[in-house]
C-alpha cells in the first residue's frame, strides 16, 4: 500500500509594512481553508510569513527591529490559525522572525516550525545560511540585512516523523546549498518544506532577471533529485512596498520533476497528492548512499569553509 500525503504550498503575495499581523493571518486562514477544501492535510507557508521582508530596510533602533519578531508561538495574532488548523486537522509549516530568550540570552532567528494536525508544534528550524550583509549599503536600491538582524541558526538541519512521513525544513537561501539537502538526506528525509522571499533584483551584481527563477528552480530540483526527496517551496512574492520578489512556488518530486507550480505573484494554493514512496527506488539504486558514497574523499567539505587553491 503506497503511503500518500495530500500536501499544499500556500504562496503569499506582498505583505506591506503597513499590513497588520491580523490582516496577514486572515489571508493565511483563507489559504488554509482553500488547501483543506482540496483535500490537503499539510500546508507549507512562506518564510517570514507574518510580516513584510523587513531585512530590506536599514534600521538601527533595536526596539523598532524587534517589532517584526514574535516572542511566543502561537500568540494572540496567530492563535486563530492554529485553532482552525486543529479543527480541520491540517498540519502546516510556518516561517516567522523568532525572538528567543534562552538561558538568559536573547536570540533573533529566521525561524520555521512544523505544526502537526492536532495543532502541536513538533519541530523548529532556525535559518543557517543567512545571505546578504550586516552593514548599510548606501548605494544599493534596497538592503538585504539578514546578517544584521538574525543570528545563525543553532539547531542544525533535523528531520521529524510527521504526517506519516520523515519531514525536514529549511529556509530560503538554505535551498541554494547542497549541504542543506544532503544533511537531511542522510537522515532519510522524504519531504523538505521551505519558504522563501527572493528579491527579483540582485543588489550585488547586475544579472539578467530570468536567472532568479532559473536558479531558484534549479536549486529545488537538484536538491530533490540528489536526495530522493519531495521539496515543497512557498514564496512570499510580488512587490512589497514597491520592491518586487519572485514567485515560482513549487512542489518538486524526488525525481526532480516539477509536479506543481504557482502561476501568479499573489496568494495562491497549489496541491499534489504526494506518493511518499516515490523516492524509494532512487535510494535503493542511483542514490544508495551506503553503497556509493565515498566519505573518505569528502573531508574538505566539513574542514574547509572557503576556497583555497593550492596548485
Q: Is 172 a catalytic residue?
A: yes
Query: Where do we find the cell 506582498?
Result: 14
Catalytic residue among 41, 70, 98, 127: 127
Shortest approach of ligand ING to residue 198 CB, angstroms? 4
Q: Give the Cα separation of 164 and 42 in Å (integer).
A: 11
Give the residue from 220, 169, 156, 196 showing the smallest Cα distance to 42. 169
Q: Does 219 bind ligand ING (CB under 6 A)?
A: no
Q: Does 131 bind ligand ING (CB under 6 A)?
A: yes
Give the residue from 72, 44, 38 showing the smallest Cα distance to 251. 44
Query: Where do we find the cell 530540483?
Result: 221
- Count residues near ligand ING (CB under 6 A): 7
Q: Does 198 bind ligand ING (CB under 6 A)?
A: yes
Q: Give the Cα separation of 239 and 248 in Å (integer).
A: 14
Choose the binding region for ligand ING from 81-89, 99-107, 195-203, 223-231 (rule: CB under 6 A).
Answer: 195-203
Shortest approach of ligand ING to residue 280 CB, angstroms? 30
Catalytic residue among 172, 190, 236, 268: 172
| Residue 298: partners with Cβ closer than 8 Å, 6 or more residues away | none
Answer positive or negative: Cα dihedral of 183, 185, 190, 191: positive
Q: Does 176 bind ligand ING (CB under 6 A)?
A: yes
Cell of 279: 523516492
Tell me which of 42, 157, 160, 196 binds ligand ING, using CB under 6 A: 196
Beta carbon nearer to ligand ING, 192 or 276:
192
Q: Is 237 a catalytic residue?
A: no
Q: Does 283 bind ligand ING (CB under 6 A)?
A: no
Q: Is 127 a catalytic residue?
A: yes
**Structural contact between residues 183 and 155, judged by C-beta atoms closer than 8 angstroms:** no
Beta carbon nearer to ligand ING, 41 or 231:
231
Q: Does 68 bind ligand ING (CB under 6 A)?
A: no
Q: Does 244 bind ligand ING (CB under 6 A)?
A: no
The answer to whether the peptide bond before residue 110 is cis (omega within 30 degrees of 0) is: no
**Binding residues for ligand ING, per CB under 6 A?**
131, 172-173, 176, 196-198
Amino acid at each position: 500500500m503506497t503511503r500518500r500525503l495530500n500536501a499544499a504550498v500556500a504562496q503569499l503575495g506582498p505583505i506591506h509594512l503597513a499590513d497588520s499581523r491580523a490582516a496577514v493571518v486572515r489571508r493565511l486562514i483563507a489559504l488554509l481553508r482553500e488547501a483543506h477544501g482540496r483535500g490537503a492535510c499539510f500546508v507549507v507557508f512562506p518564510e517570514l510569513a507574518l510580516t513584510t521582508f523587513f531585512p530590506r530596510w536599514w534600521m538601527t533602533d533595536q526596539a523598532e527591529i524587534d517589532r517584526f519578531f514574535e516572542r511566543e508561538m502561537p500568540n494572540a495574532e496567530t492563535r486563530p490559525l492554529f485553532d482552525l488548523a486543529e479543527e480541520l486537522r491540517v498540519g502546516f509549516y510556518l516561517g516567522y522572525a523568532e525572538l528567543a530568550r534562552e538561558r538568559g540570552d536573547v536570540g533573533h532567528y529566521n525561524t520555521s516550525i512544523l505544526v502537526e494536525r492536532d495543532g502541536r508544534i513538533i519541530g523548529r528550524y532556525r535559518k543557517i545560511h543567512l545571505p546578504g550583509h550586516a552593514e548599510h549599503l548606501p548605494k544599493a536600491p534596497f538592503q538585504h540585512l539578514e546578517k544584521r538582524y538574525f543570528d545563525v541558526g543553532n539547531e542544525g538541519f533535523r528531520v521529524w516523523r510527521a504526517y506519516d512521513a520523515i519531514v525536514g525544513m529549511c529556509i530560503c537561501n538554505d535551498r541554494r546549498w547542497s549541504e542543506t539537502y544532503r544533511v537531511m538526506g542522510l537522515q532519510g528525509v522524504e519531504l523538505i518544506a521551505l519558504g522563501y522571499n527572493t528579491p527579483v533584483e540582485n543588489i550585488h551584481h547586475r544579472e539578467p532577471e530570468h536567472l532568479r527563477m532559473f536558479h531558484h528552480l534549479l536549486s529545488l530540483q537538484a536538491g530533490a533529485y540528489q536526495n530522493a526527496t519531495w521539496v515543497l517551496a512557498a514564496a512570499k512574492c510580488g512587490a512589497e512596498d514597491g520592491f518586487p520578489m519572485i514567485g515560482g512556488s513549487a512542489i518538486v518530486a524526488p525525481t526532480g520533476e516539477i509536479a506543481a507550480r504557482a502561476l501568479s505573484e499573489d496568494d495562491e494554493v497549489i496541491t499534489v497528492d504526494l506518493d511518499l514512496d516515490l523516492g524509494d527506488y532512487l535510494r535503493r539504486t542511483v542514490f544508495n548512499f551506503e553503497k556509493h558514497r565515498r566519505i573518505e574523499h569528502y573531508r574538505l567539505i566539513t574542514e574547509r569553509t572557503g576556497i583555497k587553491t593550492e596548485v
